[in-house]
């Protein structure tokens, strides 16, 4: 991949070259920046900033040539005809669409597994080192074994009537079978919809119904640290809710992870978990439930892949929406495959002897793109971790780094800040000599956490790639390249190949030079989402309506005098808690469903570890008295409706909310109250300012 990439720019439109040249500076500063090591530069795919700039311009001017170079490494059943990307990004000119490699057909599972096993001679290479929640709970899976297991399970899915285009919901812990289940769907052209195993039954039900899934795959249970999660119980609750909504699911396949009998380990990809759980109550409905282990017995480990068109749906993944209803982000086959493969290779500077570890959960986009698709497309060996960074102690991450000799390590700022609190000693107990590149994702990283990551974890040897992207973008869009980009702590630096960012002011005008405003993208790249499942209009309204001609990220951004991009955070009604997006409306609607809550307003309050915490204001129905019992009920209500990640940190009884004369809640004012910031700015539009004084006097000072 990429060996063919030269830089032959064929500029068609006068002025293009100038604009592009300006987009990436010729020179980057030497002062106050951090550079990758010389060792890294010697082996890197993109060894210098000049090379990055040259290739970047080529990727924009000659997308067919640039992406054609990436595509050449993959198997295509039929070749594409026409331009590499065909699109309309402007709502005023008609429907938004993005098509990549139209006419081509392929199968991603074939490219991730068969191609690596048969063509690339990687059959015996380890695809995953699985590390369980309990230290010592471990296993390895080679590419050959993964292929066999995926084929076997693909045959199971077929025998259950799953066909190309059908949606399959997956609700599983971080076990190898999760990857097996997702790739089995891909092999037969079914569309997976993975729901993070920390989501509630209600959230799972909502997602199953929205994408009209015909089958659910789950597990009996798992441990998150010390805590036992009875997943099957939640799955059953979700299925009951689906029935109540008139959407019955007839089949649920359950993997025995904790309750496995010894004979069930034969032919299975995992031994029984060390911390087995004989008492686990696994409800079983013979009308609906099927046992994973029984089904795979006798299923053939060969399965012809289903050849899919480039723009066939690949998966749906739900992300929070500002209306409160999650959006089913739809990604399609060819563009997503090429984009995750290319970003993985270049952003982590992947080399064949790397041991890569991304600590995200596959239930989020980071796990989709950078545990499953990107690494497997490159034939990489990865660590797949079921546990927590703090269990059984706060050295766990570094112990795992040494155990497997991890070279490329990718985590979230919230995990870094959490571990930082315990100082450097737990880190320095382990050598971490293997580490070469460190990465972060999910939220802005504060310079202090960046420095700690760089100095203590990486011992000033490893560049930190601060990758900015979204569920919607499919892969990294603003990011340093480890050997090429001088880094500034807290900046996601420059665009990846094929990505053209801009900063707009409120009137939609593009700002040049140092500036701050809305971060938008001017043209599609192969990995961008194609639609909101079942609601194309919502796709257009959410991302393309505010500023016609641009994809609007919803993030604020600053460009400094050196051309570096700095994400300043969400500028819509979205909160980022521990790297996970939540909409304020979603939490508010969970709160008002309680019979004693008349109105609720939720805002973010900065949090030293989680980035943001949830500060909720609730107005109770007449005559109800606020007390600890009610507070506990409200917390429980939100956990049950959404999941533990949305648990309120603060709940304040608010007899009145600050509103404009037209009745609109002034969230700006509530944010100030949550932070105890008396500098209110202009509040002349407030209908009743005494409300604000009351709320200030009765602020919550400690988290609930």
User: Interface residues with ligand PRX (CB under 6 A)?
Assistant: 319, 365-366, 441-444, 466-471, 492, 553-555, 567, 570, 576, 580-581
Beta carbon nearer to ligand PRX, 376 or 577: 577
Q: Do the beta carbons of residue 572 and residue 542 sit within 8 Å?
A: no
- CA 181 – CA 160 distance, rounded (Å): 14
Beta carbon nearer to ligand PRX, 100 or 441: 441
Q: DSSP readout, 17-86? A: HHHHHHHS-S---STT-B---HHHHHH-SS-SHHHHHHHHHHHHH-HHHHHHHHHTTS--SB---S-SEE
The candidate with the shortest Cα–Cα distance to 96, out of 667, 544, 625, is: 544
CB-CB neighbours of 227 under 10 Å? 11
Cis before 392 (ω within 30) = yes
What is the closest distance, in whole angstroms, from the C-beta atom of residue 466 to ligand PRX in the complex?
Answer: 5
Beta carbon nearer to ligand PRX, 252 or 418: 418
- H helix or E strand, kind and range, residue 155: helix 143-159
What is the closest distance, in whole angstroms, from the C-beta atom of residue 347 to ligand PRX in the complex?
Answer: 11
The candidate with the shortest Cα–Cα distance to 382, out of 414, 405, 413, 412, is: 405
- CA 343 – CA 350 distance, rounded (Å): 10
Beta carbon nearer to ligand PRX, 47 or 474: 474
- CA 486 – CA 460 distance, rounded (Å): 13
DSSP state, residue 113:
I
Q: Do the beta carbons of residue 157 and residue 185 sit within 8 Å?
A: yes
Dihedral sign (CA 442, 329, 600, 668) = positive
Beta carbon nearer to ligand PRX, 152 or 473: 473
Beta carbon nearer to ligand PRX, 61 or 466: 466
DSSP state, residue 114:
I
Beta carbon nearer to ligand PRX, 570 or 659: 570
DSSP state, residue 509:
P
What is the closest distance, in whole angstroms, from the C-beta atom of residue 448 to ligand PRX in the complex?
Answer: 15
Beta carbon nearer to ligand PRX, 273 or 557: 557
Beta carbon nearer to ligand PRX, 444 or 495: 444
Beta carbon nearer to ligand PRX, 470 or 541: 470
DSSP state, residue 478:
B
Class of residue 460 by CB neighbours under 10 A (exposed 0-12, middle 13-18, buried 19+)? exposed
Q: Do the beta carbons of residue 8 and residue 55 sit within 8 Å?
A: no
State CA 300 to chain mean position distance. 33
What is the closest distance, in whole angstroms, from the C-beta atom of residue 374 to ligand PRX in the complex?
Answer: 13
What is the closest distance, in whole angstroms, from the C-beta atom of residue 274 to ligand PRX in the complex?
Answer: 31
- CA 286 – CA 15 distance, rounded (Å): 68
- CA 597 – CA 634 distance, rounded (Å): 9
What is the closest distance, in whole angstroms, from the C-beta atom of residue 364 to ligand PRX in the complex?
Answer: 6
Beta carbon nearer to ligand PRX, 333 or 465: 465
What is the closest distance, in whole angstroms, from the C-beta atom of residue 326 to ligand PRX in the complex?
Answer: 11
What is the closest distance, in whole angstroms, from the C-beta atom of residue 411 to ligand PRX in the complex?
Answer: 12
Beta carbon nearer to ligand PRX, 366 or 381: 366
What is the closest distance, in whole angstroms, from the C-beta atom of residue 492 to ligand PRX in the complex?
Answer: 5
Using alpha carbons, list the distances in angstroms from residue 82 to 64, 85, 539.
10, 8, 26
In DSSP terms, 619 is beta-bridged to 599
What is the closest distance, in whole angstroms, from the C-beta atom of residue 525 to ligand PRX in the complex?
Answer: 15
What is the closest distance, in whole angstroms, from the C-beta atom of residue 487 to ligand PRX in the complex?
Answer: 12
What is the closest distance, in whole angstroms, from the C-beta atom of residue 531 to ligand PRX in the complex?
Answer: 16
Beta carbon nearer to ligand PRX, 69 or 444: 444
What is the separation, in whole angstroms, between the first and last Cα of the chain?
52
Beta carbon nearer to ligand PRX, 47 or 442: 442
Q: At what angle do helices 201-210 and 628-641 cross, to 10 degrees?
A: 30
Q: What is the largest CA-CA distance in the chain?
A: 74
Tally the residues of the chain: 704
- CA 170 – CA 181 distance, rounded (Å): 8
Cis before 72 (ω within 30) = no
- CA 665 – CA 624 distance, rounded (Å): 22
What is the closest distance, in whole angstroms, from the C-beta atom of residue 579 to ligand PRX in the complex?
Answer: 6
- H helix or E strand, kind and range, residue 129: strand 126-131
What is the closest distance, in whole angstroms, from the C-beta atom of residue 441 to ligand PRX in the complex?
Answer: 5
What is the closest distance, in whole angstroms, from the C-beta atom of residue 498 to ligand PRX in the complex?
Answer: 17
What is the closest distance, in whole angstroms, from the C-beta atom of residue 445 to ligand PRX in the complex?
Answer: 7
- CA 468 – CA 121 distance, rounded (Å): 34
Beta carbon nearer to ligand PRX, 389 or 527: 527
Planar angle of CA 13, 14, 20, nearest 5 degrees? 85
Q: Do the beta carbons of residue 489 and residue 54 sit within 8 Å?
A: no
Beta carbon nearer to ligand PRX, 363 or 498: 363
- CA 559 – CA 542 distance, rounded (Å): 24
What is the closest distance, in whole angstroms, from the C-beta atom of residue 472 to ligand PRX in the complex?
Answer: 6
Which positions ≥6 away from 60 have C-beta within 8 Å?
20, 498, 500
Beta carbon nearer to ligand PRX, 273 or 441: 441
Q: If DSSP codes are grouped into helix, strand and coil, which group holds residue 630?
A: helix
């Amino acid at each position: 991949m990429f060996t063919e990439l030269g830089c032959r720019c064929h500029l068609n439109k006068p002025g293009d070259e100038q604009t592009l040249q300006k987009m990436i500076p010729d020179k980057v500063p030497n002062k106050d920046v951090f550079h990758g090591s010389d060792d890294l530069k010697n082996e890197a795919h993109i060894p210098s900033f000049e090379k990055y700039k040259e290739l970047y311009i080529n990727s924009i001017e000659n997308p067919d040539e640039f992406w054609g170079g990436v595509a050449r490494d993959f198997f295509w059943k039929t070749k594409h005809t026409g331009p590499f990307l065909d699109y309309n990004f402007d709502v005023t000119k008609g429907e938004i669409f993005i098509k990549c490699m139209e006419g081509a057909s392929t199968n991603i599972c074939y490219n991730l597994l068969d191609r690596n096993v048969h063509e690339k001679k990687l059959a015996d290479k380890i695809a995953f080192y699985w590390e369980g929640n309990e230290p010592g709970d471990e296993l390895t899976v080679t590419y050959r074994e993964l292929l066999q297991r995926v084929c076997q399970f693909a045959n199971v899915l077929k025998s259950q009537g799953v066909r190309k285009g059908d949606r399959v919901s997956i609700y599983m812990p971080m076990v190898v079978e999760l990857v097996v289940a997702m790739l089995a769907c891909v092999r037969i052209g079914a569309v997976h919809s993975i729901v993070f195993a920390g989501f509630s039954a209600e959230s799972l039900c909502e997602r199953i119904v929205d994408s009209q899934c015909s089958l659910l795959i789950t597990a009996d249970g798992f441990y998150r640290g010390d805590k036992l999660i009875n997943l099957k119980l939640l799955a059953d609750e979700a299925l009951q809710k689906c029935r109540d909504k008139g959407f019955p699911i007839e089949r649920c396949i359950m993997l025995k992870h904790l309750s496995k009998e010894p004979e069930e380990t034969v032919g299975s990809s995992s031994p029984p978990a060390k911390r087995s759980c004989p008492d686990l109550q696994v409800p079983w409905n013979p009308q609906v439930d099927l046992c994973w282990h029984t089904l795979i017995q006798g299923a053939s480990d060969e399965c012809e892949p289903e050849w899919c068109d480039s723009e066939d749906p690949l998966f749906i993944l739900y992300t929070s929406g500002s209306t409160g209803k999650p959006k089913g982000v739809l990604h399609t086959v060819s563009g997503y495959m090429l984009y995750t493969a290319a970003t993985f290779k270049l952003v982590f500077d992947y080399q064949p002897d790397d041991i890569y570890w991304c600590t995200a959960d596959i239930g989020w986009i980071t796990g989709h793109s950078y545990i499953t698709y990107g690494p497997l497309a490159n034939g990489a060996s990865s660590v797949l971790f079921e546990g927590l960074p703090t269990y059984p102690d706060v050295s766990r991450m570094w112990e795992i780094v040494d155990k497997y000799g991890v070279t490329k390590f990718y985590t979230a700022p919230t995990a870094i800040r959490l571990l930082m609190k315990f100082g450097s000693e737990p880190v320095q107990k382990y050598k971490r000599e293997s580490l070469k590149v460190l990465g972060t994702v999910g939220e802005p990283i504060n310079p202090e956490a960046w420095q700690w990551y760089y100095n203590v974890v990486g011992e000033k040897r490893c560049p930190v790639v601060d990758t900015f992207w979204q569920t919607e973008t499919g892969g990294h869009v603003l990011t340093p390249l480890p050997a090429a980009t001088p880094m500034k702590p807290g900046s996601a630096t420059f665009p990846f190949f094929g990505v053209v960012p801009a900063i707009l002011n409120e009137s939609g005008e593009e700002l040049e030079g140092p500036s701050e405003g809305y971060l938008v993208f001017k043209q599609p790249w192969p990995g961008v989402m194609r639609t909101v499942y079942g609601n194309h209009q919502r796709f257009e309204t959410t991302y393309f309506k505010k500023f016609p001609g641009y994809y609007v990220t919803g993030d604020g951004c600053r460009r400094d005098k050196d051309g570096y991009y700095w994400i300043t955070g969400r500028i819509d009604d979205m909160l980022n808690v521990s790297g996970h997006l939540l909409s304020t409306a979603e939490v508010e609607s969970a709160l008002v469903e309680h019979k004693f809550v008349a109105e609720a307003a939720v805002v973010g309050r900065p949090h030293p570890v989680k980035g943001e915490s949830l500060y909720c204001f609730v107005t109770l129905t007449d005559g109800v008295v606020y007390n600890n019992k009610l507070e506990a009920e409200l917390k429980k209500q939100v956990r049950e409706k959404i999941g533990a990640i949305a648990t309120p940190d603060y709940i304040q009884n608010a007899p009145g909310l600050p509103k404009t004369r037209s009745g609109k809640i002034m969230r700006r004012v509530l944010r100030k109250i949550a932070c105890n910031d008396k500098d209110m700015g202009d509040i002349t539009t407030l209908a009743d300012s005494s409300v604000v004084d009351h709320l200030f006097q009765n602020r919550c000072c400690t988290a609930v």
